[in-house]
Each structure stands twice: as C-alpha cells, then as structure tokens.
Structure 1
Amino acid sequence: MRMSRRRDPAAEAGFTLIELVVTVAIVGVVVTALTGVVLSYLRNTVDTQARLSESHDVQFVSAYWQRDVASIGVRSSSYDTATHSFPLTQSVDLPACPLTGDAAGATPAATLAWSEHDSLTSTDPGTTVKVTYAYQSSAEGGRLYRVRCGSRPATVEVADRLADAPVLACANGAGDSISCTGSGDDVPVVVTLALSIHDSTGIDLPTYAATLLGERRQT
C-alpha cells in the first residue's frame, strides 16, 4: 500500500496582490529618490567642470596680464641729472598696437608699455615695447587677443567666450582709483581688467566674472 504525501498549501503560496502593490510602490519611491540623486550629481559635475574650465582660461590670461603689468614703465628720453634716471612717462592706456591678422577689427581694451634697455650705457634711453589687449565680439562669444608690437611682435588669443568687452581700471599704491593716463609718480601701480565669461556647457549657467590684477614693479 503506497502512502501519498500531502503537500503543504502554504509552501505553494505566492505573493498576494497587496504584497505586490506595496513592493512596487516601495521600489518606485526608491528609484525616484535615486534618480534625483543621480541627476543632481550629474548636474553638479557639469557645473563644476564648466567652472574649472573657465577658471583655467582665466589663469591662462592672468599669467600674461600679471607679467605685462609688472613690466610697465616707459622711461623719458631726457635724462634727469637730479635723480640720475629717466623719469616715467605715460605707460597705460596708450594708443594701441596695429591690430592685424586674427586681431584685425578688434577693439582695444587696454594698452600697456615699458622700456627695454639693450645698451650697457646707463644714460642711453631704452626701446619702447607696447602690448595691447583687444576684444573681438562674435556670435559664439567674444575673444581677447594679446598683441605685442615693438621688439618681438606677436599675437596670441588669450581668452574666448567673453560676454562683454573687458573693463580697464587703475589704482595707486594705496588702492585708490586714479586715471590710467598718469605719468611720473602718477603712473598706476595696480592695473585691473574685468572680464565676464559665458557658460561653456550650454546649460545656461550664469556668466563667470573675473578680474585680472597686476602690480607695477618699476619705480
């Protein structure tokens, strides 16, 4: 006589409809929360990358600007026997260098100048070197060129995606605003160029504002 084994009905039981509904609801809440976290992370990552890219551009042009402002100081061709030097003449906001090539049609934003001395004779006047920072507007964003004339002429694009033309400002050693066209003791000690840069990602971030700052070393 064979004995049949009775199956336990509970062992074959599946999920009830209520359990399925609750599970789906919980999964939906978890997925929604995770989606929000992921999207927020991606958005912040893109924002950060855009700012890093803009910051890198500013660092690039700032290196040129600081070096050029540190050099400013056009010396007079007349030797001053009382001070045993060639007095400083206007060294900022001078007539621009000729803008040709890639910089053709650009608008001068700032022109800095200094004297280079090649002679070993202390009373010989130096050669004047000028550098013009010129802004060229375009539909994709303005470009900023550094144009050097005089000895070793060169044109370099130092920034792009500019929202507006750069703004030049000058100050004395105490930090007070002064005219950029002064001479002698009134030659600016601190020269700044304010930039406004478009978002590079196309996701409508606010423009990135930066101010290039340089300090004159010549006295």
Structure 2
Amino acid sequence: MNAPRLRRPGRLRADDGFTLVEMIMTVSIMGIVSVALTGIVLSYLRNTVDTEARLTESHDVQFAAAYWQRDVASIGVRSATYDTSPGVHSFPLLQSVGLAPCALPAGASAVVTLGWSEYSSLSSTDPPTLVKVTYAARPSGAVYQLLRVRCLSQPSTEQLADNLTAVPTVSCLDASGTAISCTGAGAGVPAVVRLALTVHDSSGHNVTPYQATLSGERRQT
C-alpha cells in the first residue's frame, strides 16, 4: 500500500504593503473627497463673508430708521390761529414736510426737511416752538454720508450712514396709501413719508448695493 503523497505548501501572500491598483484607488477617492470638502469650506466662507457684509450695510439702515420713524411721527407744524370752523376747532396743520432746510455742514445738500410744533407751556396762549430737522447727503469720496441736522430748538448734527451710493429720495403718501405731494398743508400733510436708501458694502464683498426704504407715519391729526 502506497503512502499518501504530501502536498507542498503554497507560498504565503505577504500582507505588508499595497498593490498598485489599491494605491491608485485610494488616491482617487481621497482626491474626490478633498474636492468636495474644499467646495463646502469655500462656500461656507463665502456665505459668511456675504452675511457679515449685509449685516454691516443693514446696521446703517437700522440706525437711520430709528431716527426717521421718530421724526416723521412728530411732524405737524401748527398754525398760531385757532380755527373755529365746524368740524375743525383746532390749530390747523401747516406745511410740515419740505420746509426750508437748516444750515448744513459744508458740502452737504438737503434731501428733505421735516417740521413740527413743540409745546413747552400749559397755557393755550403761549406760541409753540418750531422744530426743524433736515436730512442731508454729503459726498465722501465715491459715496455719500447721510446726515440728520436739527436746527432752531436744541440744534445738533448726527451722521446716520456713511456708505450710500446715491442721494436718498423721498416720497409721500396720504392715509389711504395714495402718493401725494410732500408739501401739502391741512388735510394735505402727508400721513406717511418714505426715505429710499441705497447702501454700498465698503468691504467690496457685495457688488450689488443694499436697497432699503425707511417709512414713518405721522401721529398728529
């Protein structure tokens, strides 16, 4: 009886190292992942910069809006003569928007002047104090600054915005929302006054300027 034949053991495959195919596949996958991650990071950074730029632009608008809404709410220059006509019985409203501007800083031009009567006495015979506030644009290089100049009573000057690409424009509406002249008196005094601003991002990240319309509503009737 013949003895079983012993098989020669095969050569064991080495486990240390990579084949060329494995290395090529690994490098290819890493390249694809790196490109995807780079795109995500760049998109995040771009969006972050754009958001910060818009916040910078909107800060000027919010600051100006606080003053604008308060000033428009106050408008209402009162006549010194009491009107006893039926249905009136009050001191009628005179022109309160588009008044003669205050004395402005050098280089500034008036955009609009708002006015109102301020009463400091309880006596009905004492005349009120006229308050006027002029919103003005002043060139500063390639942009404009928005100034708020109060004259007559408690004069002051504030710079509300400093990166406007154009001189602001003003529009007026009546109580029904219909566009009217800003220079009316009595029932023609605007109920709503709007100031349109175009703000530029000084950092240069946003090519398109930020546009906003400040709206204020008159309280006096």
Q: TM-score, normalised by structure 1?
A: 0.91
Q: Deviations over 1:2-35 (max 9, x none)?
A: xxxx9x7523541122221211111111100100
Aligned to 1:3: none
* Cα distance between partner residues in 2 of 1:149 and 1:22: 76
Paired residue type of 1:36:
G
CA drift of 1:140 comes to: 4.7
**Would you say how many aligned residue pairs link Structure 1 and Structure 2?**
210
**What corresponds to 1:201 in structure 2?**
203
Per the TM alignment, residue 167 of structure 1 is displaced from its structure 2 partner at its CA by: 0.4
Q: Aligned equivalents of 1:12 and 1:177: distance in 2?
A: 84
CA shift, 1:50, in A, is 1.4
Identity %: 60
CA distance, structure 2, for counterparts of residue 12 and residue 175 of structure 1:
82
CA distance in structure 2 between the partners assigned to 1:203 and 1:62 by the alignment: 24
The residue type paired with residue 47 of structure 1 is D
The alpha-carbon deviation at position 120 of structure 1 amounts to 1.5
Aligned partner (choices 9, 17, 21) of residue 20 of structure 2: 17
SS at 1:89 equivalent? coil
More displaced, 49-58 or 10-19? 10-19
Describe the superposition over 1:87-106 as per-residue Cα deviations: whole angstroms up to 9, x where unpaired.
11100011110013xxx211
Counterpart CA distance in 2 for 1:153 and 1:197 is 27
* Structure 1 stretches lacking a partner, 5+ long: 1-5
Matching residue within 203, 214, 217 for 1:215:
217
> 8 Å contact 1:79–1:123 — kept in the other structure?
no
Aligned residue in 1 for 2:63: 60
CA contact (8 A) 2:142 2:165 kept: no
1:71-82 correspondence to structure 2 within 5 Å: 71-82=74-85
For structure 2, the 5+ residue unaligned runs are 1-8
Q: Residue 124 of structure 1: CA displacement?
A: 2.8
Quote the residue 1:27 is aligned against: 30
Separation in 2 of the partners of 1:166 and 1:129?
Answer: 22
Which one-letter code corresponds to 1:90 in the other structure? Q
CA distance in structure 1 between the partners assigned to 2:76 and 2:36 by the alignment: 61
* Greater Rg by CA: 2
Partner of residue 141, structure 2: 139
| Distance in 1 of aligned mates of 2:26 and 2:111 | 65
The amino acid that maps onto 1:132 is T
Structure 1 Cα separation of the partners of residues 21 and 203 of structure 2: 47
SS of the equivalent of 2:13 reads helix
